[in-house]
Amino acid sequence: MKDFAGKIAFITGGASGAGFGQAQIFSEAGMKVVIADVRQDHLDEAMAYFKEKNAPAHAIKLDVTDRAAYAAAADEIEKVYGSAPDLLVLTAGVNVFGPAEASTYDDYDWVVGVCFGGVVNGLVTFVPRMIKSGKGGHIAATVSWGAFGAGPTTAPYSAAKAAVLNLLESYYISLKPYGIGVTAVCPANIRSRIYEAAIKGRPEKYANTGYNVTEDTQQLLASIHAHGMDPRVLADWMKKGIENEQFLVVPYPSGPRMVEMALERFKHYASPEGMKYLEEKAKQPPTEEEIRMNCEREGYDVTKGGLRPPANAPQGSFKDVGFGKAKKDVDWVDPSKKVN
């Protein structure tokens, strides 16, 4: 898709962070934007922005895990803008962190439900309508760099994101003959309010977490996201990916090399020699290339102050606030066995 002007974009999670950046960039490209979000306060803020700009925008309060509400939202757009969207952007997501071995069913049901289930619901709701419209179009999703690597404290999140990446590849292949492109964007740190999700955005029915989640852990997360990529810059990467009909966008100068290195890791996992290599490698300090890539992903400016994170980087306080730890009453988690 190269022309955006006059077309319709439907963006989940479009009222904050990455999704709001996408709403701004696609609106500036002349699109009519529909912002679908579960939080009314975020919707109100975003709509105030578009009202001030006098740009066509429509807000729908939508929980992406609610299939009936999703169908109603699709009907609503057809009524308001006259047809199915040309561009479907699946960005709504949540996260929460803690040791894999402390995870509860609620941790999985909530995170996987929104991050993976929400994308499934978007595809099942809109793909038939987009095909029937006969207009072609594009589907883009905000996945995560987490899709390429599992951390010890990210089990539900990185599993959901890896599943989304795989899912989108199926659609990328299937939808090509209909003139519908698919783009998966895999950023690392973004300047956003995702740290609010685990406290303000977690439904009561999924309240039972195995992780230590407090105001302090979320404030630490907020300080990390504060230096993340500007959502408008991320949206520019997404737009370019759509224009180029590119399936995968890793939004950094070293993006393709990062993917190569992530896949190499799997190559090593697949043989005894490779396993030995990885074990030895883990004992070595990171290479300059690895440090630079990490800085790109974290949002540290590698042109200022060399390749190291700045002195005020918040990592030092992870331990102090118990970030990524199990809840106290999870008595089978042995802190002496922690790997990070």
Ligand X SMILES: NC(=O)c1ccc[n+]([C@@H]2O[C@H](COP(=O)([O-])OP(=O)(O)OC[C@H]3O[C@@H](n4cnc5c(N)ncnc54)[C@H](O)[C@@H]3O)[C@@H](O)[C@H]2O)c1
Where on the chain is the footprint of ligand X (CB under 6 A)? 12-13, 15-19, 37-39, 42, 62-65, 91-95, 114-115, 118, 142, 144, 187-190, 192-194, 197, 201, 225, 228
Q: Please identify, using beta-carbon distances, which residue of 91 and 212 lies nearer to ligand X.
A: 91
Residue type at 310 in one-letter notation: P
If the CB atoms of residues 65 and 103 are measured against ligand X, the closer one turns out to be 65
Q: Output 73 or 326, the one with its CB closest to ligand X.
A: 73
Q: CB of 173: closest distance to ligand X in angstroms?
A: 23
Q: Which of 157, 195, 206, 300 is catalytic?
A: 157
Rank residues 135 and 193 by Cβ distance to ligand X and give the closer one. 193
CA-CA-CA-CA dihedral for 223, 65, 155, 171, to nearest 10:
-110
Q: Is 195 a residue of the active site?
A: no
Least separation, in Å, of the C-beta of 251 and ligand X? 10
Q: How far is the CB of 118 from ligand X (least distance, A)?
A: 6
The sign one gets for the Cα dihedral 38, 150, 191, 165 is negative
| Nearest distance in Å: CB 274, ligand X | 28
Instruction: Name the minimum Å distance from CB 234 to ligand X.
Output: 8
CA distance 56 to 49: 11
Q: Based on CB atoms, which residue is closest to ligand X, 13 or 210?
A: 13
Q: Which is nearer to ligand X, 213 or 330 (CB)?
A: 213
Least distance (Å) from ligand X to the CB of residue 76?
A: 15
Active-site positions read 157
